[in-house]
Amino acid sequence: MNGLIYQVQDLTKTYNGKPILRVDRIDVRWGEIFALVGPSGAGKSTLLRLLNFLELPTGGRIHFHDVEFGADRPMALKLRRRVTMVSQRPVLLNRSVWDNVAYGLRLRGQRDAASQIDAALAQVGLTALARQRARTLSGGEAQRVALARAMVLEPDVLLLDEPTANLDPYNVGLIEETVRQLNRERGTTLVLVTHNVFQARRLAHRVALMLEGRVVEVADVQTFFDAPRDPRTAAFVRGEMVY
């Protein structure tokens, strides 16, 4: 291993003939928190779907665990299961909270995982709601269930797409703390999409700016915020970018 869990090369994605993504190069290191920031429509969610191997790219490759993923090379289930995404809008199954968290484990044939599920629920502060139907939860609670449901699988990589958009400060704090703990204690690699630069600054080790499907700059968090190379990064960080 060379310390890189993902190596993205010349990755492109086209929808209906319209190029959406053109990433020449991005690396993600083992055990880091990597933030993707950028305005709406920049292609952040699209990149995450590709990092989760949910769609095939139009061109280029992603090396994951030194296995190649490309237009004609879908990712094997076993490795795909090492990555889990929490989507931009939490989509819960119409079952109890507990069953939602148990879902991914059941897919893997694990039925005797009650203690793991309880632990995951406790970590996001939802033990009391375990029996409640997931569809009746508030937005913040739902997002926390989605996070617990992904965490319980102990993936190598957790992809978080705007995990705190539209949430109140209490839920934001709780989710950020959970993410930090996960990274610190379990060594989980995190790719975090956010258009909140403050959140990127609070959580990330390295940050990348995406604009119109391209990666403009990748730098460690200090450099990204204090001495960016690209003037567009500087503008984005100062909140001057129009979007």
Partner 1 sequence: MEIVTLSLRVSGTALLFSTVIGIPLGVGLGLSRFLGRRLVIALLYTGMGFPPVVVGLFVYLMLSRSGPLGGLHSPLIPALFTPAAMVVAQCIIAFPLVAGFTMAAVMGVDPQLRQQVLSLGATRRQAALTVLMEARVGVVVSIIAGFGSIISEVGAVMMVGGNIEHRTRVLTTAIVLETRKGTFDLAIALSVVLLALSFLTNVLMLRLQGRTFDE
Ligand X SMILES: Nc1ncnc2c1ncn2[C@@H]1O[C@H](COP(=O)(O)OP(=O)(O)OP(=O)(O)O)[C@@H](O)[C@H]1O
| Residue 243 CA from chain centroid, whole number | 22
Residue 15 binds to ligand X (criterion: CB under 6 A): yes
Token pair listed for 146: 């989605």
> Can you tell me whether residue 95 is helix, strand or coil?
coil
Residue 168 beta carbon to partner 1: minimum distance, rounded to whole angstroms: 23
Residue 88 beta carbon to ligand X: minimum distance, rounded to whole angstroms: 6
Helix (H) or strand (E) holding 45: helix 44-51
Residues contacting residue 170 through CB under 8 Å, at least 6 positions apart: 140
| Distances 125 to 112, 145, 148, 175 between C-alpha atoms, Å | 22, 10, 10, 10
> Which CB, 26 or 117, lies closer to ligand X?
26
Residues contacting residue 150 through CB under 8 Å, at least 6 positions apart: 84, 85, 86, 104, 158
Residue 149 binds to ligand X (criterion: CB under 6 A): no
> Which CB, 18 or 78, lies closer to partner 1?
78
> Can you tell me whether residue 145 is helix, strand or coil?
helix
Question: Could you say which DSSP state residue 51 is in?
Answer: H
Axis crossing angle, helix 139-151 with helix 97-107, rounded to the nearest 10: 30
Residue 45 binds to ligand X (criterion: CB under 6 A): yes
> Which CB, 87 or 132, lies closer to partner 1?
87
> Which CB, 45 or 189, lies closer to Mg ion?
45
Residues contacting residue 84 through CB under 8 Å, at least 6 positions apart: 52, 104, 150, 153, 155, 157, 158, 159
- Residue 58's binding partner among partner 1, Mg ion, ligand X, none (Cβ under 5 to 8 angstroms by kind) is none
Q: Which stretch binds ligand X (CB under 6 A): 40-48, 74-82, 101-109, 216-224?
A: 40-48
- Give me the residues that bind partner 1 (CB under 8 A), please: 49, 52, 54, 77, 80-81, 83-85, 87, 89, 91, 93-95, 99, 103-104, 107-108, 149-150, 153, 159
The residue at minimum Cβ distance from Mg ion is 45
- Residue 184's binding partner among partner 1, Mg ion, ligand X, none (Cβ under 5 to 8 angstroms by kind) is none
Q: How many CB atoms lie within 10 A of CB 136?
A: 10
Site for Mg ion in 24-83 (CB under 5 A): 45
- Residue 41's binding partner among ligand X, Mg ion, partner 1, none (Cβ under 5 to 8 angstroms by kind) is ligand X
Point out which residues bind ligand X (CB under 6 A): 15, 20, 38, 40-46, 88, 195
Point out which residues bind Mg ion (CB under 5 A). 45
